[in-house]
Structure 1
Amino acid sequence: MLKILLLQLYLLTWCQVAEILTNQITDLGQSVTINCGLDLKEVTWFVLNIPDPPVLILRSFSNPPATFYFNNRFRQKYSVQPKHNLFINNVSIDELGVYYCTNIDRTAQFSNGIRLDQTTRILVPTQPSECQNHTVVVQPKELTLWRTVTVIFGLISVVLLFGFIAFIGLCKFFAGRSNKHPQQRRN
Structure 2
Amino acid sequence: MWCQAAETLDQLTELGQNVTLNCDLDDEDVYWVLLKQSDSPSVILQSFSNPTFVFHFNKTLKNKYSVQSKHRLVIYNITVDELGVYYCMNTDTPPKLSHSTRLNIIEQTQLSEFNTTECKNHTNVKEENSTQLKIFSLISVLLNAVLIITGFLNAVSVENGCWNRSGNGSQLYNTELQQIQHLKESQDPKQSQYVTVVFQTV
Q: Are the structure 2 counterparts of residues 105 and 26 from structure 1 closer, same or farther at C-alpha, using a change threshold of 3 Å?
A: same
Deviation at 1:86, TM superposition (A): 0.2
| Percent of pairs with identical residues | 45
Query: What runs of 5+ residues in structure 1 fail to find an aligned partner?
Result: 1-15, 122-136, 142-187
Mapping of 1:1-187 within 5 angstroms?
17=6, 20-63=7-50, 65-120=52-107, 138=110
In structure 2, how many angstroms separate the alpha carbons of the residues matched to 1:40 and 1:111?
11
Query: What runs of 5+ residues in structure 2 fail to find an aligned partner?
Result: 114-202
In structure 2, how many angstroms separate the alpha carbons of the residues matched to 1:140 and 1:21?
19
Question: Normalization by structure 1: what TM-score?
Answer: 0.54
More strand by share: 1
More helix by share: 2
Q: Are the structure 2 counterparts of residues 90 and 109 from structure 1 closer, same or farther at C-alpha, using a change threshold of 3 Å?
A: same
Query: What amino acid does structure 1 have at the position aligned with 2:47?
Result: S
Q: Highest relative contact order (Cα 8 Å, sep 6+), 1 or 2?
A: 1
Deviation at 1:50, TM superposition (A): 1.6
| Count of aligned pairs | 109
In structure 2, how many angstroms separate the alpha carbons of the residues matched to 1:77 and 1:139?
27
Query: What amino acid does structure 2 have at the position aligned with 1:120?
Result: E
Do 1:32 and 1:91's aligned partners in 2 also have CA atoms closer than 8 Å? Answer: yes
Quote the RMSD (CA, aligned, Å): 2.1
Deviation at 1:104, TM superposition (A): 2.5
Query: What amino acid does structure 2 have at the position aligned with 1:119?
Result: I
- Misfit runs of 4+, over 4 Å: none
Which protein shows a greater Rg?
2
Deviation at 1:140, TM superposition (A): 5.5
